[in-house]
């Protein structure tokens, strides 16, 4: 071989080697980054080339896949009762990605999770079409429908959460107003237009108010303050008179005072009566006597200040401030100042109380399984904390049941069922210039020991300001959820 030919051969060999090295580098090192590149549509196209698994509630699928056989995508996601279940399912869109269960359980739903490898291999060998696994939720459709229909029919804005206190299973999760995830699932102009409308909607229908929005909890937070008062010995007898002025001068201030909506009914009343008629003065003074550090510790036990709660979707952190001064702590102890809570958080408070002080970790997924119904993972209830002592919890139950039987929570009474509750009307806006938030938190238990804990917040309403109350607006929604669960 002459010298020029040998040089060309060596050069060509080097080109081949360089090409092989580059191909292996792209496939081995850059593969993950290329798959995640937002400009790479191949992953999305492949994901919609076969049906996703279903999200299940009460034994029935609340999702489905439509065969569209488009130029790019073979299937498109759709939703049954979309607006009702949107706070649970989230959306899966060919253009806008996914959120909530559609996102965090994507590995199971898309069939790409490593636990499905054996199942997918069998399908490939037998010639079956690939299909994602199913996600079975803890949602009780009767509870979900009860809350959703109340919000939808009334046009109210807000949220509702129901828990099984003994396990932490989430029985209902509603946010209103809502949206239909089907409308944004495709890659067509209609889906893009729907997305734009939703983003511009001032009512923010895509906000998950049950999990991702925090509100001042108002008087519902007095349950936490009452627990701290019982645990620290500030209150030893719930029916004994307290040393509580009316109005209550806030400590370390010149003229600031806490006043009551309950008129003249709060002077030196017992804690039982103070909860029944919701006395700010009694609980503000107790919060000051307990102190900010101990109040924050109590709030933490009930789930506040937990930035890492996953159910498995992420939940906004509920807040009780530390390091604040005495008047701020007194206001925080009645659920005002900077105290903020999600509806889920306040359902957790009630859940711990009715469960004799034990707070179970909330969870939304009971089971994941293959398309062939083989169980992949089964949820195991776990304790999140010991929120309060059994003795304090039982005294709180006595007081909450008094609220429903003889106090502000009378609208939640259910014949033949033990119901405990607490109303709340929380300030909204600077100097409370906006319509206040109406809260109701409650539990119900029947003679067979079946229990449910509920929290409802109505964010705004068409009612006159002086007609807005937890009892009038939120309690009927909670009652319908409790009745649906207990079959009453």
Rounded to an integer, what is the distance from CA 269 to the centroid of its chain?
Answer: 35
Helix (H) or strand (E) holding 445: strand 437-445
pLDDT at 399 over 70: yes
Long-range contacts, stretch 364-367, CB < 8 angstroms, 24+ apart = 364/88, 364/101, 364/137, 364/138, 364/139, 364/170, 364/173, 364/311, 364/312, 364/313, 365/101, 365/105, 365/135, 365/136, 365/137, 365/138, 365/312, 366/136, 366/137, 366/138, 366/169, 367/135, 367/136
Is the Cβ–Cβ distance between 235 and 229 less than 8 Å? yes
Of 251, 249, 250, 247, nearest to 264 (Cα)?
Answer: 247
Q: Does residue 125 fall inside a structural domain? A: no
Q: Does residue 404 fall inside a structural domain? A: yes
Beta bridge partners of 56: 61, 136
Q: Average pLDDT of the chain?
A: 89
- Beta carbons within 10 angstroms of residue 356's beta carbon: 18
pLDDT at position 250? 95
The parent domain of residue 402 ranges over: 218-371+385-486
Give residue 165's pLDDT band: very low, low, confident or very high (50, 70, 90).
very high
CATH number (domain holding residue 308): 3.40.710.10
pLDDT at position 432? 52
| Residue 97 to residue 68: CA distance in whole angstroms | 19
Instruction: Point out the catalytic residue in the list 183, 219, 318, 351.
Output: 219
pLDDT at position 49? 80
Give residue 124's pLDDT band: very low, low, confident or very high (50, 70, 90).
low
114 in catalytic set? no
| Residue 42 to residue 298: CA distance in whole angstroms | 51
Residue whose structure tokens are 């005072």: 257
pLDDT at 11 over 80: no
| Residue 268 to residue 245: CA distance in whole angstroms | 6
Half-sphere exposure of 304 (CA within 13 A, CB side): 25
pLDDT at position 254? 87
Report the 3 state secondary structure along 64-85: EEEECCCCCCCEEEEECCHHHH
Q: Does residue 156 fall inside a structural domain? A: no
pLDDT at position 466? 46
Each residue of 477-488: pLDDT tens digit? 999 999 999 997
pLDDT at position 285? 97
pLDDT at position 77? 96
Beta bridge partners of 79: 63
> For residue 481, is it left (φ>0), alpha (ψ between -120 and 50) or beta?
alpha
Each residue of 426-468: pLDDT tens digit? 766 545 556 678 999 999 999 888 999 999 999 875 554 444 5
Query: How many domains is the chain partitioned into structurally?
Result: 1
Average pLDDT over residues 102-114: 91
Question: Quick one: DSSP state of residue 439?
Answer: E
pLDDT at position 34? 56
Q: First CA to last CA across the chain, in angstroms? A: 97
pLDDT at 256 over 80: yes
| Residue 36 to residue 32: CA distance in whole angstroms | 6
pLDDT at position 433? 53
pLDDT at position 465? 44
Q: Does residue 282 fall inside a structural domain? A: yes
């Amino acid at each position: 071989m002459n010298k020029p030919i040998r040089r060309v051969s060596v050069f060509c060999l080097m080109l081949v080697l360089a090409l092989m090295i580059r191909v292996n580098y792209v496939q081995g090192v850059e593969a993950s980054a290329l798959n995640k590149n937002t400009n790479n549509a191949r992953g999305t196209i492949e994901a919609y080339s076969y049906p996703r698994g279903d999200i299940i509630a009460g034994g029935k699928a609340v999702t489905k896949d439509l065969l569209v056989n488009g130029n790019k995508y073979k299937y498109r996601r759709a939703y049954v009762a979309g607006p009702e279940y949107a706070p649970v399912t989230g959306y899966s869109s060919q253009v806008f990605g996914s959120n909530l269960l559609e996102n965090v359980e994507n590995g199971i739903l898309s069939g790409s999770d490593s636990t499905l490898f054996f199942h997918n291999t069998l399908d490939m060998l037998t010639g079956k079409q690939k299909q994602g696994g199913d996600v079975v939720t803890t949602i009780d459709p009767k509870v979900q429908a009860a809350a959703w229909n109340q919000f939808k029919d009334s046009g109210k804005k807000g949220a509702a959460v129901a828990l099984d206190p003994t396990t932490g299973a989430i029985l209902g999760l509603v946010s209103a107003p809502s949206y239909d995830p089907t409308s944004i699932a495709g890659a067509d102009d209609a889906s893009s237009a729907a997305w734009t409308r939703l983003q511009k909607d001032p009512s923010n229908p895509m906000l998950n108010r049950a999990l991702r929005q925090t509100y001042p909890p108002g008087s519902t937070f007095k349950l936490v303050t009452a627990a701290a008062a019982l645990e620290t010995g500030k209150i030893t007898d719930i029916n004994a008179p307290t040393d509580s002025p009316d109005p209550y001068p806030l400590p370390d201030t010149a003229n600031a005072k806490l006043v009551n909506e309950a008129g003249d009914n709060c002077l030196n009343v017992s804690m039982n009566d103070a909860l029944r008629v919701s006395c700010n003065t009694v609980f503000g003074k107790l919060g000051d006597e307990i102190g900010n550090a101990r109040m924050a510790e109590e709030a933490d036990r009930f789930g506040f200040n937990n930035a890492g709660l996953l159910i498995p979707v992420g939940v906004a952190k509920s807040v009780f401030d530390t390091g604040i001064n005495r008047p701020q702590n007194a206001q925080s102890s009645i659920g005002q100042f900077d105290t903020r809570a999600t509806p889920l958080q306040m359902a957790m408070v009630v859940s711990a109380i009715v469960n004799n002080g034990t707070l179970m970790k909330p969870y939304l997924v009971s089971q994941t399984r293959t398309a062939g119904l083989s169980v992949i993972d089964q949820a195991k209830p776990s304790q999140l904390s010991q929120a309060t002592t059994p003795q304090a919890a039982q005294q709180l139950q006595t007081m909450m049941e008094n609220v429903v039987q003889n106090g502000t929570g009378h609208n939640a009474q259910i014949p033949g069922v033990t119901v405990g509750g607490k109303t709340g009307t929380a300030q909204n806006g600077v100097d409370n210039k906006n319509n206040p938030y109406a809260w109701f938190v409650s539990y119900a238990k029947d003679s067979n020991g079946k229990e449910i804990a509920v929290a409802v917040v109505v964010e705004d309403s068409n009612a006159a300001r002086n007609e807005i109350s937890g009892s009038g607006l939120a309690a009927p929604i909670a009652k319908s959820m409790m009745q649906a669960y207990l079959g009453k």
